[in-house]
Amino acid sequence: MTIAPKEFDFQVARLRLERKAKSASEKLTTLEAAAARVNDGDHVAIGGCLYSRTPLALIWALLRRRPRGLTLSRNLMSYEGEWAVVAGAADKLVTSWMGIGLPWGLSRIQREYVESGRLEFEEWSHLALGLRYRAAAMGVPFLPSLTMLGSSLMDVGGSKTVECPYTGETLHAVPALFPDVALLHVHRADRFGNGQIDGYPHMDADLARAATTVLMTAEEIVSDDEIRRHPDRTVIPGFAVDALVHVPYGSYPHECYGRYDAEPAHFTVYVDGIKERGAAGVTDYLERYVYAPRTHADYLALFDEAARRDAAARARMLTT
């Protein structure tokens, strides 16, 4: 059993949340100040999915602080998981799948680190991990489900079953996962942290409720009035958000629905580095893209501006 009581203990998780200020006040800050809220050893849950709406700006700022002993969880883990492992920031990943996508093959870093015993890899089914976040978002220690029953995945985290008191059937009691921190990137927010997402929502709304501390970047900071004009588009309540940073292209070169497309060519260059030099390829990449640029603007400047404009044009075409 690798799940720890801290992950599913809803009473302790609630008391942590009760102590947090939930005031409708200014949440705007810098990437640096936001990232400083993550402590060594924290469980950090990452929003978006695979190469979509990944909070890359927050991950960039976090890795620059050279954190240690983190556990990262995400529904489908992309290369941010490789970064954290190779950077020595994380020693445990919790996810249902790791890679980038079909054209790039398996994650060689995942293989190499898991097979050599340097990385703990806790695997759940995609829905089970989603239900872990949702149980936490609902403030309960588990949710019943049929998924994962009968599979070897039941043993990985230490899943237990529960008997339905009405029907007598046995269900998977999917344990809650209350992360210490959630990192999210959304389309727009007001300065109080009320956040709106366009397109597929992934699991971000659940993450914002499940975590004790919520760090969020937004493509756009809009007025209070603008949020109030479309309150039915708000999916993250301001009182859940601890730090908000305005970061256009905050998940680039991953995609942001309707704003910019992903850059598969960049993924290929990244993966080629690993194919050629293994983990050293990641180290080189981190040096160039994470540690060298002193600001997020410097980071973005490493990408071709015409490519960014083109990614934006593709996104508009794909969503209209």
Residues numbered 209 to 248 that lie near its own copies (CB under 8 A) are 229, 231-232
Q: Which of 60, 83, 124, 142 binds its own copies (CB under 8 A)?
A: 142
Nearer to its own copies, 7 or 80 (CB): 7
Q: Which of 238, 248, 273, 281 binds other proteins (CB under 8 A)?
A: 238
Per-residue CA distances from 192 to 31, 68, 177, 283 (Å): 16, 30, 26, 37
Nearer to its own copies, 71 or 145 (CB): 145
The first and second tokens of residue 109, run together, are 């870093």
Q: Which of 39, 91, 114, 144 binds its own copies (CB under 8 A)?
A: 144
Asked if 209 is part of the footprint of other proteins (rule: CB under 8 A), the reply reads yes
Nearer to other proteins, 71 or 234 (CB): 234
Q: Which of 115, 166, 305, 317 binds its own copies (CB under 8 A)?
A: 166
Please choose, out of 4-12, 91-99, 112-120, 177-185, the segment that lies near its own copies by the rule CB under 8 A.
4-12
Per-residue CA distances from 151 to 13, 226, 274 (Å): 29, 48, 32
Asked if 249 is part of the footprint of other proteins (rule: CB under 8 A), the reply reads no
173: enclosing H helix or E strand = strand 170-175
- Cα separation of 158 and 131, whole Å? 15
Asked if 17 is part of the footprint of other proteins (rule: CB under 8 A), the reply reads yes
Asked if 181 is part of the footprint of other proteins (rule: CB under 8 A), the reply reads no
Asked if 292 is part of the footprint of other proteins (rule: CB under 8 A), the reply reads no
- Cα separation of 7 and 160, whole Å? 14
Asked if 148 is part of the footprint of other proteins (rule: CB under 8 A), the reply reads yes
Please choose, out of 32-40, 76-84, 108-116, 137-145, the segment that lies near its own copies by the rule CB under 8 A.
137-145
**Of residues 41-70, those binding its own copies (CB under 8 A):** none
Which DSSP string corresponds to 33-63?
Answer: HHHTT--TT-EEEE-SBTTBS--HHHHHHHH
Total binding residues for its own copies by CB under 8 A? 33
User: What does 305 bind: its own copies, other proteins, none (CB cut-off 5 to 8 Å by kind)?
Assistant: none
User: Tokens 């949440």 — which residue?
Assistant: 27
Asked if 173 is part of the footprint of its own copies (rule: CB under 8 A), the reply reads yes
Residues contacting residue 320 through CB under 8 Å, at least 6 positions apart: none
Q: Which amino acid is at 198?
A: D
Instruction: Please list the alpha-helical segments (H only) found in the chain.
Output: 5-8, 10-18, 31-35, 56-64, 79-86, 108-115, 126-138, 153-157, 204-210, 224-229, 264-277, 279-286, 296-301, 305-318
Q: Which of 24, 33, 140, 318 binds its own copies (CB under 8 A)?
A: 140
Nearer to other proteins, 124 or 142 (CB): 124
User: What does 295 bind: its own copies, other proteins, none (CB cut-off 5 to 8 Å by kind)?
Assistant: none
Q: What number of CA atoms fall less than 13 Å from residue 268's CA on the CB side?
A: 4
User: Tokens 């905050």 — which residue?
Assistant: 250
Asked if 316 is part of the footprint of its own copies (rule: CB under 8 A), the reply reads no
What is the nearest approach in angstroms of other proteins to the Cβ of residue 22? 5
Asked if 293 is part of the footprint of other proteins (rule: CB under 8 A), the reply reads no
Asked if 122 is part of the footprint of its own copies (rule: CB under 8 A), the reply reads no
Residues contacting residue 88 through CB under 8 Å, at least 6 positions apart: 66, 68
Q: Which amino acid is at 76?
A: L
Which residues contribute to the site for its own copies (CB under 8 A)? 5, 8-11, 138-146, 160-162, 164-167, 169, 171, 173, 175, 198-201, 229, 231-232, 320
